[in-house]
Amino acid sequence: MTEIADTEAAEKTKKPAPPPEVLHFTAEERAARGKAARADCPRASHAGFELSAGRDPVQILVDQAETRVPELVPIRYGRMLVSPFTFYRGAAAIMAHDLAATPRAGLQAQLCGDAHLANLGGYASPERRLVFDLNDFDETLPGPFEWDVKRLAASFEIAGRDREFTKAERDEAVLAVVRNYREWMRRLAVMPNLDVWYAHLDADTVEAGIRARQAGQQADRVRQAAVKAQTKDSLKAFSKLTTDVDGEPRIVSDPPLIVPIDQLYDSAEADAVETALRRVYRDYRRTLQPDRRHLLEQYRWVDIARKVVGVGSVGTRCWIVLLLGRDGGDPLFLQAKEAQASVLEPVLGKSEYGNHGQRVVFGQRLMQAVSDIFLGWTHVDAGLDGRERDFYFRQLWDWKTSVDLDVIVPIGLVLYAEVCGFILARAHARSGDRIAIGEYLGKGDAFDKALLEFARAYADQNEKDYNELVQARKDGRITVEEGR
pLDDT band at 456 (very low <50, low <70, confident <90, very high): very high
pLDDT at 175: 98
Question: Which segments of 246-288 are extended strands (E)?
Answer: 248-251, 258-260
Indicate the range of 104-118, 169-183, 210-224 predicted with least confidence: 210-224
Q: What's the average model confidence in pLDDT over 323-350?
A: 95
What is the residue type of 413?
L
Query: Quick one: 197 and 49 in the same domain?
Result: yes
Same domain for 240 and 210, yes or no, is no
73 and 204 housed in the same domain: yes
Closest CA to 435 of 266, 269, 150, 191: 191
Choosing from 395, 425, 458, the residue where a domain stops is 395
Residues 81 and 152 placed together within one structural domain of the fold: yes
Q: Which runs of consecutive H residues, i.e. helices, occur in 343-433?
A: 345-348, 356-367, 410-431
Q: Is residue 8 part of a domain?
A: no
Question: Above 60 in pLDDT, residue 11?
Answer: no
Residue 348, in any domain of the structure: yes
CB 240 within 8 A of CB 347: no
Per-position DSSP letters for 197-230, written without gaps between them: HH---BHHHHHHHHHHTT-HHHHHHHHHHHHHHT
> How many folded domains does the chain comprise?
2
Q: Are residues 67 and 101 in the same domain?
A: yes
Contacts 24+ apart (CB under 8 A), 185-189: 185/425, 185/428, 185/429, 185/434, 185/437, 185/438, 185/441, 186/438, 186/441, 186/443, 188/425, 188/426, 188/429, 188/434, 188/438, 189/429, 189/434, 189/435, 189/437, 189/438, 189/439
Do 31 and 152 share a domain, yes or no? yes
- The answer to whether residue 13 sits within a structural domain is no
Domain C-terminal end among 366, 395, 424: 395
User: Tens digit of pLDDT for each residue in 17-75?
Assistant: 778 888 899 999 999 999 999 999 999 999 989 999 999 999 999 999 999 999 999 99
CA–CA distance, 341 with 359 (Å, rounded to integer)? 9
Let me know: does 256 contact 308? Beta carbons within 8 Å.
Answer: yes
14 domain-assigned: no
Distance between CA atoms of residues 463 and 91, nearest Å? 12
Average pLDDT for 416-440 = 97
Provide the strand spans (E) within 125-215: 130-134, 141-144
Q: Would you say residue 4 lies in a domain?
A: no
Q: Please check whether residue 311 lies inside any domain of the structure.
A: yes
Residue 1 confidence (pLDDT):
45
Whether 419 is covered by a domain: the verdict is: yes
Residues 344 and 422 occupy one common structural domain: no
Q: Are residues 309 and 165 in the same domain?
A: no
Residue of 111, 218, 177, 28 lying closest to 432 (CA atoms)? 111
pLDDT at 32: 97
- How confident is the model at residue 382, as a pLDDT? 66
Q: Residues 377, 430: one domain?
A: no
Cβ neighbours of residue 83 closer than 8 Å, sequence gap 6 or more: 162, 466
What pLDDT sits at residue 299? Answer: 97
pLDDT tens digits, one per residue of 226-250: 888 788 788 888 899 999 998 899 9
Residues 152-178 have pLDDT tens digits of: 999 999 999 999 999 999 999 999 999
Residues linked to residue 121 through DSSP beta bridges, in sequence order: 133
Whether residue 201 is found in the same domain as residue 264: no
160 and 298 together in one domain: no
pTM given for the model: 0.93
Q: Are residues 281 and 416 in the same domain?
A: no
Confirm whether 7 is domain-assigned: no
Which pLDDT does position 399 carry in this prediction? Answer: 85
Lowest mean pLDDT among 151-160, 271-280, 296-305, 306-315: 271-280
Evaluate if residue 262 carries a pLDDT over 80: yes
Domain boundary residue among 377, 395, 413?
A: 395
- Residue 225: partners with Cβ closer than 8 Å, 6 or more residues away: 122, 401, 403, 404
pLDDT at 9: 52
Domain that holds residue 435: 27-229+405-474
Low-confidence winner among 13-22, 111-120, 227-236, 297-306 (lowest mean pLDDT): 13-22
How far is it, in rounded angstroms, from Cα 58 to Cα 40? 34
How many angstroms separate the most distant Cα atoms in the chain? 81
Q: Which of 34-43, 272-281, 475-484 has the lowest mean pLDDT?
A: 272-281
Question: Residue-wise over 417-434: b if at least 16 C-beta within 10 A, else e?
Answer: bbbbbbbbbbbbbbbbbb
Cis peptide before 256 (omega within 30 of 0): yes
Question: How confident is the prediction for the chain on average, in pLDDT?
Answer: 92
Say how far apart CA 177 and CA 186 lie, in whole Å. 14
